[in-house]
Amino acid sequence: MVEEKELVYNLQSGNNPDAAFRTLVSQYKERLYWQIRKIVLNHDDTDDVLQNTFIKIFRNINSFKGESKLHTWMFRIATNEAITFLNLKAKKNNTSLESVKDHAIKNLESDVYFEGDALQLKFQKAIATLPQKQQLIFTMKYFDDVTYEELSEILETSVGGLKSSYHIAVKKITQYIKANETF
Amino acid sequence: MKQNKHTYGFKVPETYFSDFDARLFGKLEEEKLPTETGFKIPEGYFETVEESVFERLELPSEKGKVIPLFSRKVWGYGASVAASAALVFFVFNMNKTQPDSFDTVQFSAISSYIEGENLGLDISEIESLLNEEEIGTIQFEHDLVSQDVLEEYLLDNIDVSLLNQ
């Protein structure tokens, strides 16, 4: 695995940036894919957003000033791209963001690339009820175990606020699952 | 209850013990949640996505160099002829028509174009175009939320026990 600093240097110095970009894509494609997938839910949409994310990274690498870690910066771009994608989808279909998300959740039941059981489906439905930012905080913390410090850099929110938001999210999710339990 | 003979000198946050049960049971509830998302991907997806990105960026493929049907030289001659013709056309028509300039575009048209998210810029790109002073002068839409609405929202959504920690 090539160190971030070395990658950034090779990408920005003009010393074979194409090869450096190949290394970057190879190293980060899976992490960024799952980050996006948890927001847009569907594989094909995730594929579009992932490609757009890498294109944006390639075109803007010179504006990366090293104030945060490279992967944090890329996570931020991926997150923004995913949210922009959902907003544009809502706009194109002349509907609200909530209804786009509802639709995506309903489609999960028949999605060939979703193999979750009833509880996992309910879990996804519960996550979808959270406000957008709380969803991001919860999924990144719960599934990827991103530290609060890193989350703070990605989402530009204080650590205290993130902790609070995460605990509220857990409460809302467990309440939703309990309320929708089938016996 | 008998007072301890020695004290440790340690302290705990004020509501630590009163909130402890709630936090512990919350944690136990969290552990009952599934640990996997249930999402899967098409077989071999991660091998193909790289090439799709490079194709869109027109980076040379690692699989093999593509040999163009026409050499660069031929395209070069064609391009030179086309450029000369365009230059002649431009010079002869320069005084006949007034070209559209940036000044003639309505401000509202620019603003609705940006609001329509047609610009394809994200917040980090916009941030890189502005200096700190300019960012400070921007009035965000969030500023328009009244104090009462903000307070009500915070009371409904903030986990008060965490504020005491």
Neighbours of A50 (CB within 10 A): 27
Q: What are the tens digits of pLDDT across the range A111-138?
A: 999 988 999 999 999 999 999 899 999 9
The predicted model gives A23-49 an average pLDDT of 94
- Size of chain A in residues: 183
* Nearest-by-CA chain B residue for A115: B38
| Better-scored residue on pLDDT, A161 or B83 | A161
| Better-scored residue on pLDDT, A28 or A5 | A28
User: How far does the CA of residue A151 sit from the closest CA of chain B (Å)?
Assistant: 16
Is residue B69 predicted with pLDDT exceeding 60?
Answer: no
Tell me the pLDDT band of B102, cut-offs 50, 70 and 90: low
Is residue A78 predicted with pLDDT exceeding 90?
Answer: yes
- pLDDT at residue number B126: 64
Highest averaged pLDDT of the listed ranges A54-58, B133-137, B139-143, B148-152: A54-58
Strand spans (E) along chain A: none
- pLDDT at residue number B60: 67
- Mean pLDDT taken over chain A: 91
Please, what's the b/e burial string for B93-108 (b: 16 or more CB within 10 A of its CB; e: otherwise)?
eeeeeeeeeeeeeeee
Q: In this structure, what token pair is assigned to residue A152? A: 């703070």
* Nearest-by-CA chain B residue for A88: B117
CA atoms of A139 and A77, how far apart (whole Å): 17
User: How far does the CA of residue B40 sit from the closest CA of chain A (Å)?
Assistant: 5
3-state helix, strand, coil in chain A (%, to 5): 75, 0, 20
- Alpha-carbon Rg of chain A, whole angstroms? 18
Q: In this structure, what token pair is assigned to residue A25? A: 């894509």
ipTM above 0.90, yes or no: no
CA atoms of A137 and B115, how far apart (whole Å): 27
Contact list in A for residue B32 (CB cut-off 8 A) is 174
- Quick check: A153 and A160 in contact, CB under 8 A? no
- pTM for this entry: 0.66
- Run of H or E residues at A106: helix A97-108
User: B32: buried, middle or exposed (CB in 10 Å: 19+, 13-18, 0-12)?
Assistant: exposed
User: How far does the CA of residue B30 sit from the closest CA of chain A (Å)?
Assistant: 7
Please, what's the b/e burial string for A112-143 (b: 16 or more CB within 10 A of its CB; e: otherwise)?
ebbebeeebbbbbbbbbbbeebbbbbbbbbbb
User: How far does the CA of residue A183 sit from the closest CA of chain B (Å)?
Assistant: 17
* Nearest-by-CA chain A residue for B51: A22
Is residue B133 predicted with pLDDT exceeding 80?
Answer: no
- pLDDT at residue number B26: 80
Q: Residue A151: which residues within 8 A CB-CB, separation 6 or more?
A: A137, A140, A141, A157, A162
Q: Residue A164 is nearest to which of B39, B59, B158, comparing CB atoms?
A: B158
Contact list in A for residue B156 (CB cut-off 8 A) is none
CA atoms of B53 and A33, how far apart (whole Å): 13
Are the beta carbons of A121 and B41 separated by less than 8 Å?
A: no
Are the beta carbons of B37 and A143 separated by less than 8 Å?
A: yes
DSSP class of residue B70 equals S
- pLDDT at residue number B144: 63
**Mutant choice from A16, A25, A42, A111 vs B, greatest count of B C-beta within 10 A:** A25
- Quick check: B37 and A20 in contact, CB under 8 A? no
Contact list in A for residue B128 (CB cut-off 8 A) is 60, 63
User: How far does the CA of residue A67 sit from the closest CA of chain B (Å)?
Assistant: 12
Contact list in A for residue B65 (CB cut-off 8 A) is none
- Quick check: A27 and A90 in contact, CB under 8 A? no
Is residue B146 predicted with pLDDT exceeding 50?
Answer: yes
